[in-house]
Amino acid sequence: MSPDADAPADGDGENPTASPALHEVTVDAADAGQRLDRLLAARIEGASRSRLKALIIAGCVTSGDGRTLSDPGMAVKPGDVVRVTVPAAAAAEPVAEAIPLTVVYEDRHLIVIDKPAGLVVHPAAGHAAGTLVNALIAHCGASLSGIGGVRRPGIVHRLDRDTSGLLVVAKSDVAHQGLAAQFAAHGRDGRLRRSYLALVWGLPERAEGRIDAPVGRHPTQRTRMSVVKPGRGRAAATRYVVLETFAAAAGAGAGGSAGGGAAASLLRLDLETGRTHQIRVHLAHIGHPVMGDPVYGRGFKASARRLGPEAQEALGALGRQALHAAELGFEHPVTGGRLHFTGSVPADMARLVRALTADDRPRPTKLDAKPRRR
């Protein structure tokens, strides 16, 4: 795995300290009439406009004569002197935990991780510890310059606990703002690319297609998402391409699985939006849920009868949805360089693919058997 562009040098930033940082800005004639928060964002490196707006409101910005400037939209005048006190980043609330990480890329502003299945991204109810955030606090240490004034990693996108693959996390406030903007655009501006690999039950009718269906909370099961009527959820679109198909094992019955003679398929999926459980919900909606999905693929348990013993064993050992974030590309939020990463299919999914491929090979039947002498 490697970036397309040369990596920015590590360790070339200021080390965070325990004392506040003081900045003094003098307004030039060319800056006359600008908003105060916009001016400061342009003149103070590494500080986002939203962060500076919060500092202004908090009373951390004063004029040259000591007056507190509390209006972010105040128009500045030539010759004005503005002093900004940036408090030291506070310690993160989640505790640092020495959890092994597969680091694909890292510089002073961001880090790309190949997340294993089973690792929760962010602390939440039921997962107060043992998360990716806990691991990153330990791994990054003092190199976290602070997100919104707190020394913590900036999560700009997430993967479900049992989805594996590539995930980028911000280490600085300016990187957090830049990455968040790219993920909010979902690739419409050409800067972001996210592709997933999924093993699904059956075979979609078309070799490639686009699933355009709004996603919202399930009307009765509030912990689940579902495709809902327009206006009741958020717009969601997923593009897919069939990469490979796997026939049912010799002698296996139909088992109720969609897709004719195909027991399963390997798909590449690209997101146009980023809704909760989007890929899993969309694939279940078209009748081809992700293999092993305990939430959206429960109605397809009988389809396992179409697999050979080796594939059934591999599916049972998988113990999760067969979904992997295999490709991640984005524009570096500070340098502007293009970064692109691809990841290998994890061992558990690779084992299932091998087993499905073995099922797909022609096998001898009773008619093929050689006559035996009685």
**pLDDT value of residue 17:** 39
Largest CA distance in the chain: 111
Amino acid sitting at position 86: V
Least confident of 44-53, 220-229, 273-282, 342-351: 44-53
Burial of 131 (0-12, 13-18, 19+ CB in 10 A): buried
65 is annotated as an active-site residue: no
The one catalytic residue among 37, 114, 160, 173: 160
- As a whole number, mean pLDDT of residues 95-123 equals 94
Kindly tell me if the per-residue pLDDT of 180 is higher than 50.
yes
149-153, 241-245, 276-280, 295-299: lowest mean pLDDT where? 149-153
pTM comes to 0.71
Strand pairing partners for 61?
84
In contact, 112 and 168? CB cutoff 8 Å: yes
Q: In angstroms, rounded to a whole number, what is the distance separating the alpha carbons of residues 215 and 229?
A: 9
Q: Which residues contact 180 (CB under 8 A, 6 or more apart)?
A: 154, 156, 170
Q: What domains does the chain contain, in order, with CATH numbers? A: 21-88 (3.10.290.10), 89-185 (3.30.2350.10), 187-364 (3.30.2350.10)
Buried b (16+ CB within 10 A) or exposed e, 206-215: eeeeebebbb
Q: 30 or 292: whose pLDDT is higher?
A: 292
Structure confidence at residue 126 (pLDDT) = 62
Q: Rg of the Cα trace of the chain?
A: 26
User: In the prediction, which pLDDT does 6 show?
Assistant: 31
Q: What is the pLDDT of residue 5?
A: 32
12-21, 39-48, 105-114, 357-366: least confident range: 12-21
Q: How far apart are CA 129 and CA 299, in angstroms?
A: 33
- pLDDT tier, 337 (very low <50, low <70, confident <90, very high otherwise): very high
Q: Which residue has the higher pLDDT, 359 or 346?
A: 346
How far is it, in rounded angstroms, from Cα 352 to Cα 100?
A: 25
Of the candidates 188, 154, 157, 169, the residue with the CA atom closest to the CA atom of residue 278: 157
Q: With CA atoms as reference, report the closest residue to 274 among 212, 198, 183.
A: 183
> Which pLDDT does position 10 carry in this prediction?
29
Determine the pLDDT at residue 252.
63
* 255, 247 Cβ separation under 8 angstroms: no
249-303 per-position pLDDT tens digit: 876 655 444 445 789 999 999 999 989 999 999 999 999 999 999 999 988 878 8
Q: How far apart are CA 162 and CA 323, in angstroms?
A: 8
**For residue range 67-100, what is the model confidence (pLDDT) as tens digits?**
999 999 999 999 999 999 887 665 557 888 999 9
- For all residues of the chain together, what is the average pLDDT? 85
Give CA 304 to chain center in angstroms: 30
Residue 202, pLDDT above cutoff 70: yes
Instruction: Compute the Cα dihedral for 153, 155, 161, 166 and give only its sign.
Output: negative
Q: Which of 172-176, 182-186, 220-224 has the lowest mean pLDDT?
A: 220-224
Q: What is the pLDDT of residue 275?
A: 92
Q: State the residue for tokens 């909606």.
A: 285
Q: Are strands 193-201 and 262-271 parallel, antiparallel or unpaired?
A: antiparallel
Q: For residue 347, which phi and psi values (nearest 5 degrees)?
A: -60, -40
Residue of higher predicted confidence among 373 and 95: 95
Provide, rounded to the nearest whole percent, the portion of the chain with pLDDT above 70: 84
The mean pLDDT of 324-344, rounded to a whole number, is 96
Lowest mean pLDDT among 64-73, 123-132, 310-319: 123-132
